[in-house]
Amino acid sequence: MRRSSFAEDDFYRFPFNWLVDVTDAGDLDARDLLLAHMYEGQVIFAEEQGEQIWFRNDERTHRRGLFTRQTFSKHKNALLHRRFLRKYQRPLRPPKTNAVAHRDLHQSIKYELAEWPLPTAWLYRPRGYLQNRWPVWLGHSDLGSRAVLVALLAALSPGSNPTQVTRRWQEILTFIASHFTHSASTGAKPLSLAKLRKGVQELQALGVVTEETSAPLRYTLHLVRFADAPIWSRPMLAEACQLDGGREEQWLTLLGDLMTHCCEPVTRLQTVWHTLRHYRTSPYLIDQTDLDDLRTYMQQQREQGILLHHDQVLAGFVQMCALQQPRLCSSLFELPVATTALARQTVAATPIQMPTSNAHAVAATQLWIQCVRTGGLTAAEAQQVLGHTRLIIWQENTGQAPVAVPLICRAPTPLHIDYGYSVPANDLHKQINYDQPVEVWLRCDQPDARLRLHCRFRLWLAK
């Protein structure tokens, strides 16, 4: 297999001695930022706004700021104090030299490295790591993922493959133990094995590191991933959030999309999932159309340069939908696919009730169905079973004859089996009392105990 050529312009050099006494994630990020802007021993922020641009959200690329001005200033001043850096002293303008040219040449130079030329021991860091603001994706809780990343990059050299690098876990631990030294004066704490393992898992969830399947505890860093936002791995997301990767594919995809859109760090993955899980009971996030509408909403925000956190995005989307077309959902109830099955109560052991007592306020009623397959039942088999299934809504009112309303159930498609589907139930509007409980009967000519239906009534209210 032909290797790409190693281009040093795609990397910046990070001296090993700059790893000494790194106190936290912000400290390492500050050193990265300074060294990435180092040219011939001088730190030059050539952008119009200088280093300020790194403290702000970038609306053009939809990226968050690396850190606050105060964080950068604190760690930069510590480097000045420890004589890694010194402030640049602008030289006097020589006689017969253009003043404007002299000013333009030196105004962008902020600092100088105290040791130049660099010592011979350094590692290569990809420029895309900072340009695409990967430290934001790593979060700021601890150094674990960053230390593992540094250890992997330490194996990269001009003679190696510039697209990926592989190291054994023990080599990673040995490198970190020997280079991330700590002193009591800095307040830094040694990196624990638990934090380093957590760091590897975070890098795997971000899709930038994979474990070799043929050789456990060997990890490969894919440098090409730094060229863009993370590629959230669905299997890793499923493992981190304890989800079924097959049945929950649509939610795992949405979780990755939400993490990318909001630039949420991997350290907040569980928080984002818990919020998203809460919204799964919302009448505005039930079917694939709803999820597609949410993605359209996020794309519109991106085009407008709006960068919000995940809870703000979800709350804003639901509020927008509620203004356009209010909806309500009943509590969840379950039906086994048997020859005859009856649901009288919800999973919370309460009577099945419509979410509003006023049928006149309802524009449309649906029965939303999510298929739950077990025992290796395939989508095609489930489709065959549901093609021979009938549903009847039953209601008994005091002093009146019972009411039975059959629903028209068309055979679901394979996508419906995977992602859920709705059955029209508008016939209920004039035939049942929405302020009284109902029962749901299921009859099936080809029952299968491996299939269960999770159901809810969804109501579209008149505006």
pLDDT in tens, 157-189: 887 778 899 999 999 999 999 998 765 455 556
Euclidean distance between CA atoms 63 and 268, whole angstroms: 16
Task: Report the percent of the chain where pLDDT is more than 70.
Answer: 92
Closest to 352 (Cα-Cα) out of 371, 327, 333: 333
Q: How far apart are the first and last CA of the chain?
A: 63
Look up residue 216 and give its DSSP letter. Answer: T
Mean pLDDT along residues 193-210 = 93
| pLDDT in the model for residue 120 | 75
Radius of gyration of the chain (CA): 30
Which DSSP helix (H) or strand (E) runs through 369? Answer: strand 362-373
* Whether the predicted pLDDT of 137 surpasses 80: yes
Q: Rounded to a whole number, what is the largest CA-CA distance in the chain?
A: 108
Q: d(Cα 306, Cα 316) in Å, to the nearest integer? A: 12
Judged by DSSP in three states, 305 sits in coil
Measure the CA dihedral 151/153/157/161, to 10°. Answer: 130
- Is the pLDDT at 457 greater than 50? The verdict is yes
Amino acid residing at 119: P
Cβ contact 225:231 at 8 Å: yes
Q: Which residue has tokens 């979800």?
A: 314
Higher local confidence (pLDDT), 114 or 311: 311
pLDDT number for residue 155: 92
Residue 3: predicted pLDDT:
46
Sheet-wide strand order for 42-44: 38-39, 42-44, 109-113, 85-87
pLDDT at 242 over 90: no
Where in the chain are the domains? 8-226, 232-324, 328-461
pLDDT-derived band of residue 208, with 50, 70 and 90 as boundaries? very high
pLDDT band at 139 (very low <50, low <70, confident <90, very high): very high
Between 151 and 408, the more confident residue is: 151
Examine the pLDDT at 396 and tell me if it is beyond 50: yes
Burial of 359 (0-12, 13-18, 19+ CB in 10 A): middle
Asked if 189 contacts 143 with a C-beta cutoff of 8 angstroms, the reply is: no
For domain 328-461, give the CATH number: 2.60.120
User: Which of the four pLDDT bands, split at 50, 70 and 90, describes residue 102?
Assistant: very low
DSSP state of 282: S
Tens digit of each residue's pLDDT (9 = 90 or more) over 48-96:
667 888 998 887 778 899 989 999 999 999 999 988 898 887 665 555 5
- Percent above pLDDT 90 for the chain: 62
Q: Give me the helix-helix angle, 288-303 and 249-261, nearest 10°.
A: 10
Residue 209: pLDDT band with limits 50, 70, 90: very high
Per-residue three-class SS string for 56-102: CCECCCCECCCCCHHHHHHHHHHHHHCCCEEECCCCCCCCCCCHHHH
Cis ω before 135 (30° cut-off from 0): no
Residue 26 has pLDDT above 90, yes or no: yes
Those residues whose C-beta lies under 8 Å from the C-beta of residue 246, and which sit 6 or more positions away, are none
* Residue 26 CB-half CA count within 13 A: 17
Confidence at 328, pLDDT banded by 50, 70, 90: very high
- Mean of pLDDT over the chain: 88
Side chain identity, residue 255: L
Residue range 329-386, pLDDT digits in tens? 999 999 999 999 999 999 999 999 999 999 899 999 999 999 999 999 999 999 999 9
Of 220, 107, 211, 207, the residue nearest 153 (C-alpha): 220
DSSP code per residue over 235-281 = HHHHHHHT--TTTTHHHHHHHHHHHHHTT--GGGHHHHHHHHHHHTT
102-128: string of b/e by CB count within 10 Å (b at 16+)?
eeeeeebbbbbbeeeebeeebbbbbeb
Better pLDDT: 281 or 154:
154
Main-chain dihedrals φ then ψ at residue 176, nearest 5 degrees: -65, -40
Give the distance from CA 215 to its chain's centroid.
28
Could you count the other beta carbons within 10 Å of the beta carbon of residue 227? 13
Question: What confidence tier does 103 reach under pLDDT thresholds 50, 70, 90?
Answer: very low
- Confidence band of 100 (pLDDT split at 50, 70, 90): very low
Does 2 score more than 80 pLDDT? no
**The pLDDT value given to residue 96:** 53
- pTM, two decimals, is 0.82
